[in-house]
Amino acid sequence: MTDDDGQLEARLEAQDVFEPSDAFVSQANVSDPDVYERFDAEWPHCWEEAADLLTWESPYDQVLDDSDPPFFEWFTGGELNASANCLDRHLDERGDEAAIEWVGEPVDEANRTYTYEELHREVNEFAAALREQGVEADDVVTMYMPMIPELPVAMLACARIGAPHSVVFAGFSAEALATRMNAADSEYLITCDGYYRRGDPLDHLAKANEGLADVEHDTTTVVVDRLGPNGDDFGHDLGAAQHDYGDLVGAHAGATVEPVTRDAEDMLFLMYTSGTTGQPKGVKHTTGGYLSWVSWTSQAVLDVKPEDTYFCAADIGWITGHSYIVYGPLALGTTTMMYEGTPDYPDRDRLWEIVEAYDATQLYTAPTAIRAFMKWGTEYPDRHDLSSLRLLGTVGEPINPRAWTWYYTHIGDDSCPVVDTWWQTETGGMMITTLPGVKKMKPGSAGPPLPGVDVELVDAAGEPIEPGQAGYLTVQKPWPGMLRTLYRNDERYIDEYWAEYSDVDSDDPDDWVYFPEDGAKIDEDGYITVLGRVDDVINVSGHRLGTMEIESAIVGVEGVAEAAVVGGNHDIKGEAVYAYVITEDGYEGDETLREAIVAGVEDAIGPIARPEQVVFSPDLPKTRSGKIMRRLLENIADGEEIGNTSTLRNPEIVADIQAQVTE
Ligand code: PRX
């Protein structure tokens, strides 16, 4: 054990409650402890405070329309445009200030700064180009792009002309892209030639084109030239319906496009996410409620101020980047950072170098990254002056107290509050976390629900549980940032999120309860520790994956008869994919099949879903009725004791599987 470990251990023993410093509280955007009571008393009118952070073209008539639950509507009758809120309204006062500071992965490449003025200009030009290409309000435009500035430009250009975007994470496979474009009937794709990963240029357009080949309708594509001459080796030629981004923007130099007036409830974007069944779910977010929510939480929880240089190290391809790299920070007129690459390229201090170079004031990242930093050791952050940081955040998965305390001590130098924020793609923005200017922090616990957010922990029957017990998270009242439905599938929206604990025949909004599919514990102070998903969704490095999606990729591989996928504990990733596979007669569970399975998963979903272990077995542990015992497979993956197996149809199989996993 190193000295550092010793000190960390001592601290973990000694301290489980941390108070925000007086210095932080005295400058915090929200520091009034009465905010909780006030929001309860005023609900739902408390959320006017969030809507007031935006500029409305016409005011809303009603804060909440709950006449048709669970199709709740917020700020109805109000009109606004998200791009005007993120750009135009800042021009007078902050036109020359940086909106985006972009850092590419190669260290010898010039970084790029977009002032609000410059970002506004490029968004207008690209909006004009998209219009010329035929994009109209309500057309879904897909983006398949890595962390390059043209991604937020494209999102805001779409918002400007009222076209919802659907961003597909660049690490997803061609097949995943095609599935999402087909599901949304999306006729437009914005992508790029490639990007850098650990020093190498990566051919992204080849993957995009492969996906486009499986799209069932005609498409128009815009391709950003990210790599310049470094992409020449890929030998790309743009096809007939493919346009170069630079040419399009150049052809519309100086163009201005009036922001299209959008109803508060008009769709701002779609985001596909994993659920229990094989098909990804198209989560629909709206213009007024979503933008209010991410703006309010950005200022209340992340303490974002216009003069900050705020750094969220997520990817815009996931909801965290949508809400807390693009929309929340830009709506508040701050400077938002974007980093293209991985935190360990060219060395393990890359993030700390960026924080120091830009005097970043907040850092928002995932527990998986923090655990990796912890493993790499303090020598990397110690090389840099991180004293510009004022607040730290984490999101995406449970954070263990050890990682929390390391982050607080070594990155925050004991002076930055850490906000552990629980939320989901569906919630649009944060729901459970401490307000850093008001609440004490407890490592490992996200904290109480935000003011005005009505979270209750219940048992399987929907009855509230006592402090100290574990139960299920529920949200008892709607909130402005909530998803409105699953795209073109209202029925599935009800089934997936409401059916469990609601009286689905009732017209009374109080009878409707949102179920996020997470388990949690609550303590005497009302602090909530989120335990993780209770459905067939696993969380690998903060990335949400459906086990069914992975299973269907595996059973598609020749030679596989049956597969069961579970999440097993992993020191860095949180969870890792464990695949248990029964081979078809005549096939061997050998290295060739293992490789084919890994390739099959990468093709169907992407490398993030790659199985950590593939275990071949003549059978899987099943109940007498033939149901696969997933819990048991999880225990095996975690190397845990296996209890009584007498209820299994085939108990003899367990030892055989166990032996392979421990190998
Ligand atoms: O299980 C919870 C976990 O991530 C899930 C949502 O994943 P996704 O929609 O991809 O959004 C991730 C970014 C918001 C949740 O159902 N989760 C998220 N944040 C936390 C968390 N688990 C524990 N603690 C958190 N702070």
Render 354-421 in DSSP notation, one character per residue: HHHHHT-SEEEE-HHHHHHHHHH-THHHHTS--TT--EEEEESS---HHHHHHIIIIISTTTS-EEEE
**Would you say the CB of residue 368 lies under 6 angstroms from ligand 1?**
no
Ligand 1 center to residue 420 CA distance, Å? 10
| Residue-wise DSSP of 236-288 | ----TTEEEHHHHHHHTTT---PPPPEETTSEEEEEEE--SSSSPEEEEEESH
Q: Residue 3 — pLDDT band, cuts 50, 70, 90?
A: low
How far apart CA 50 and CA 331 sit, in angstroms, is 12
Ligand 1 center to residue 549 CA distance, Å? 18
Q: Residue 251 — pLDDT band, cuts 50, 70, 90?
A: very high
Tell me the three state secondary structure of residue 154.
helix
What is the distance of C-alpha 512 from the center of its chain? 26
Q: What percent of the chain has pLDDT over 90?
A: 93
- Residue 79 is given by DSSP the state E
Ligand 1 center to residue 396 CA distance, Å? 4
In which residue are the tokens 């004031």 written? Answer: 361
- Residue 230 is given by DSSP the state G
Q: Which amino acid is at 478?
A: P
How far apart CA 293 and CA 48 sit, in angstroms, is 11
Which atom of ligand 1 approaches the CA of 517 most closely?
A: 16
- What are the pLDDT digits (tens) for 438-473? 999 999 999 999 999 999 999 999 999 999 999 999
Ligand 1 center to residue 422 CA distance, Å? 6
Ligand 1 center to residue 641 CA distance, Å? 28
Q: Residue 275 — pLDDT band, cuts 50, 70, 90?
A: confident
**Would you say the CB of residue 146 lies under 6 angstroms from ligand 1?**
no
- What are the pLDDT digits (tens) for 170-223? 999 999 999 999 999 999 999 999 999 999 999 999 999 999 999 999 999 999
- Find out whether 203 and 223 touch, Cβ atoms under 8 Å: no
Name the phi and psi angles at 532, rounded to 5: 130, 180
Which atom of ligand 1 approaches the CA of 516 most closely?
A: 16
Residue whose CA is at the smallest distance from ligand 1 atom 5: 424
**Would you say the CB of residue 515 lies under 6 angstroms from ligand 1?**
no
**Would you say the CB of residue 420 lies under 6 angstroms from ligand 1?**
yes
Ligand 1 center to residue 534 CA distance, Å? 12
Q: 239 or 300: whose pLDDT is higher?
A: 300
pLDDT greater than 90 at residue 626? no
- What are the pLDDT digits (tens) for 123-180? 999 999 999 999 999 999 999 999 999 999 999 999 999 999 999 999 999 999 999 9
Going by C-alpha positions, the residue among 503, 509, 500 that lies closest to residue 477 is 509
**Would you say the CB of residue 421 lies under 6 angstroms from ligand 1?**
yes
What is the distance of C-alpha 359 from the center of its chain? 25
**Would you say the CB of residue 423 lies under 6 angstroms from ligand 1?**
yes
- What are the pLDDT digits (tens) for 516-556? 999 999 999 999 999 999 999 999 999 999 999 999 999 99
Asked, as a colleague might, if the bond just before 467 is cis with ω within 30 of 0, I would say no
- Find out whether 304 and 312 touch, Cβ atoms under 8 Å: no
Determine the longest span between alpha carbons in the chain, in angstroms. Answer: 74
Q: Which amino acid is at 71?
A: F
Q: Which of 323, 364, 424, 442 to mutate to test the pocket of ligand 1 (most atoms within 8 A of CB)?
A: 424
**Would you say the CB of residue 297 lies under 6 angstroms from ligand 1?**
no
Residues 6+ apart with CB under 8 A from 516: 424, 426, 427, 473, 474, 475, 497
Q: Which of 301, 404, 530 to mutate to test the pocket of ligand 1 (most atoms within 8 A of CB)?
A: 530
What is the distance of C-alpha 575 from the center of its chain? 16
**Would you say the CB of residue 398 lies under 6 angstroms from ligand 1?**
yes
Crossing angle of the two packed helices 150-161 and 116-132, in degrees rounded to 10: 60
Q: What percent of the chain has pLDDT over 70?
A: 99
Which residues on neighbouring strands pair with residue 165, listed in sequence order? 141, 269
Query: What integer pLDDT is reported at residue 646 of this predicted model?
Result: 86
Residue whose CA is at the smallest distance from ligand 1 atom 25: 422
E runs forming strands in 498-573: 518-522, 528-533, 537-540, 543-546, 560-570
**Would you say the CB of residue 274 lies under 6 angstroms from ligand 1?**
no
**Would you say the CB of residue 544 lies under 6 angstroms from ligand 1?**
yes
Residues 6+ apart with CB under 8 A from 124: 157, 160, 255, 256, 257
Residue whose CA is at the smallest distance from ligand 1 atom 26: 422
Determine the length of the chain.
663
Which atom of ligand 1 approaches the CA of 532 most closely?
A: 1
Going by C-alpha positions, the residue among 125, 105, 129 that lies closest to residue 117 is 125
Ligand 1 center to residue 261 CA distance, Å? 33
Going by C-alpha positions, the residue among 581, 573, 564 that lies closest to residue 608 is 573
pLDDT greater than 60 at residue 601? yes
Both ends of the chain: CA-CA distance in Å?
A: 26
Query: What integer pLDDT is reported at residue 279 of this predicted model?
Result: 81
Q: 629 or 189: whose pLDDT is higher?
A: 189
What tokens were used for 635?
Answer: 């225990």
How far apart CA 439 and CA 419 sit, in angstroms, is 10
How far apart CA 201 and CA 106 sit, in angstroms, is 10
Ligand 1 center to residue 274 CA distance, Å? 12
- Find out whether 105 and 237 touch, Cβ atoms under 8 Å: no
pLDDT greater than 80 at residue 433? yes
Residue whose CA is at the smallest distance from ligand 1 atom 15: 424
In which residue are the tokens 């995943």 written? Answer: 176
Q: Over the chain, what is the mean pLDDT? A: 96
Name the phi and psi angles at 521, rounded to 5: -120, 155
Ligand 1 center to residue 560 CA distance, Å? 32
Ligand 1 center to residue 398 CA distance, Å? 8
How far apart CA 571 and CA 384 sit, in angstroms, is 26
Residue whose CA is at the smallest distance from ligand 1 atom 4: 396
Residue 272 CB neighbours (<10 A): 24
Pairing of strands 242-244, 220-224: parallel
- Find out whether 288 and 51 touch, Cβ atoms under 8 Å: yes
How far apart CA 569 and CA 575 sit, in angstroms, is 5
- Residue 45 is given by DSSP the state G
Query: What integer pLDDT is reported at residue 661 of this predicted model?
Result: 87
What tokens were used for 647?
Answer: 């209820």
**Would you say the CB of residue 165 lies under 6 angstroms from ligand 1?**
no
Ligand 1 center to residue 481 CA distance, Å? 15
Query: What integer pLDDT is reported at residue 1 of this predicted model?
Result: 42
Q: Determine the Cα angle at 316 with ends 205 and 183, to 5°.
A: 65
Ligand 1 center to residue 572 CA distance, Å? 16
Q: Which amino acid is at 160?
A: R
Ligand 1 center to residue 542 CA distance, Å? 7
pLDDT greater than 80 at residue 293? yes
Query: What integer pLDDT is reported at residue 625 of this predicted model?
Result: 84
Average pLDDT over residues 106-118: 97
**Would you say the CB of residue 320 lies under 6 angstroms from ligand 1?**
yes
Ligand 1 center to residue 424 CA distance, Å? 5
Which atom of ligand 1 approaches the CA of 394 most closely?
A: 26
What's the Cα-to-Cα distance from 96 to each of 118, 250, 505, rounded to whole Å?
8, 22, 54
Going by C-alpha positions, the residue among 236, 173, 174, 154 that lies closest to residue 201 is 236
- Find out whether 130 and 158 touch, Cβ atoms under 8 Å: yes
**Would you say the CB of residue 575 lies under 6 angstroms from ligand 1?**
no
Ligand 1 center to residue 611 CA distance, Å? 21
Please state which of the ranges 81-95, 128-142, 487-501, 629-643 shows the lowest mean pLDDT: 629-643
Residue whose CA is at the smallest distance from ligand 1 atom 18: 396
**Would you say the CB of residue 207 lies under 6 angstroms from ligand 1?**
no
